[in-house]
Amino acid sequence: MMPPAEGSGNGIKVFSFDVDGTLVSQGFADAVWLQGIPKAYAEKEGMSFEQAFEFVKSEYEKIGENRIEWYKIDYWLRKFGLEIPYEQLFKKYECEIKIYDEVESVLEVLKDEGYELIISSNAATEFIDFQTQPIRKFFSHVFSATSDFGEVKKSNNFYAQVCEILRVKPQEVVHTGDHWVFDFINPRKIGINAYYLDRNGNAKADEKEKKNEIKVKNEEFVISDFNGLLDVFVR
Ligand SMILES: [Mg+2]
C-alpha cells in the first residue's frame, strides 16, 4: 500500500466539519430537547405532554441560544428536577440519529488522500460524541465551541484557536457546514477555505434574495452534498 500523500499538492492539510445539519440530521437533537425532556417532565409532574412541552419551551426561551446554559443538558435536567441521566435519554432516541448517506464514503476518500479530518461544532461534546460514534474513527480532533471554548457561536476567534491548536494556517484548512454565518462567513474572515453546505437548496433561494451580490460571488463555494468537496479537492 502507498503511504498517504500529503494532501494533493493543493496546500490543504485539514478538512473540518460541522455536525448538526452537516454530518447528521437535526432529528436526534430535536428529539432529545423537544420530546425527551418535556416527556420526562410531564411524567414527573403528572401533567399532559402538551402542558409540559409549553412550559419547557418557555424556559428554553428565557435562557435563549446566546447563553451557554442553553447548550448544557445537565443544566436543564437539574433545572427541571429530572433524575434521568442524559445518557439514558440519548439511548432512548438513538434511533433518531441519521448520518447523511454520502458522508462516510467521502470521509473515507479524504482520509485516504492523506488529509486530517476534524469536527468543529457548536453543540456540546456529549451530543457530538453520541451522534458521531459510527464515523468517529475518521476524526483526529473534536472541537466544541460551547464545551471546549465557552463560546456560544463559532466565531472567527474560535476558528483561529482551532488552527493554533492544530498548528496549521487557516489557508491550509477547508471547513464545511450548513450555517451561512458560523460555517461560512466567520471562517472565511480569517482565511479558511469555507464551503457552505446547502442540502435542500431552500436556504440558497432565501439567502439569494437577501444577499444576492455576495451570494453570486460565492456560488462556487456552495455545495449541495459532500461529493462537492471531492469534485474540488480530489477528482
Ligand atoms: Mg449545523
Note the pLDDT tens digit of each residue in 51-99: 999 999 999 999 998 899 999 999 999 999 999 999 999 999 999 999 9
22 Cα: distance to centroid of ligand 1 (angstroms): 6
Q: What does the block give as the cell for 112?
A: 485516504
84 Cα: distance to centroid of ligand 1 (angstroms): 27
Q: What does the block give as the cell for 138?
A: 475518521
Q: With beta carbons less than 8 A apart as the criterion, state whether 117 and 110 touch.
A: yes
> 203 falls in which pLDDT band (50, 70, 90)?
low
Helix (H, G, I), strand (E, B) or coil at 193: strand
> 201 falls in which pLDDT band (50, 70, 90)?
confident
Q: Which residue has the higher pLDDT, 203 or 171?
A: 171
Burial call 142-164: b when 16+ CB within 10 Å, e when fewer: bbbbbbbeebbebbbebbbbbbe
| Cβ neighbours for 186, distance < 8 A, ≥ 6 positions apart | 154, 155, 156, 158, 159
183 Cα: distance to centroid of ligand 1 (angstroms): 8
Query: How many angstroms separate the CA atoms of 67 and 43, rounded?
Result: 28
Class of domain 14-25+99-233: alpha beta
Q: Give the chain's mean pLDDT.
A: 91
Q: With beta carbons less than 8 A apart as the criterion, state whether 208 and 215 touch.
A: yes
180 Cα: distance to centroid of ligand 1 (angstroms): 9
20 Cα: distance to centroid of ligand 1 (angstroms): 4
Domain ranges in the chain are: 14-25+99-233, 27-96
Query: How many angstroms separate the CA atoms of 188 and 107, rounded?
Result: 22
106 Cα: distance to centroid of ligand 1 (angstroms): 18
Query: Backbone dihedral region of 13: left (phi > 0), alpha (psi from -120 to 50 degrees) or beta?
Result: alpha
Condensed to tens digits (0 to 9), the pLDDT of residues 143-161 reads: 999 999 999 889 999 999 9
43 Cα: distance to centroid of ligand 1 (angstroms): 31
3-state secondary structure 44-90: HHCCCHHHHHHHHHHHHHHHCCCCHHHHCHHHHHHHCCCCCCHHHHH
48 Cα: distance to centroid of ligand 1 (angstroms): 32
124 Cα: distance to centroid of ligand 1 (angstroms): 13
11 Cα: distance to centroid of ligand 1 (angstroms): 26
177 Cα: distance to centroid of ligand 1 (angstroms): 6
What percentage of the chain exceeds 90 in pLDDT? 83
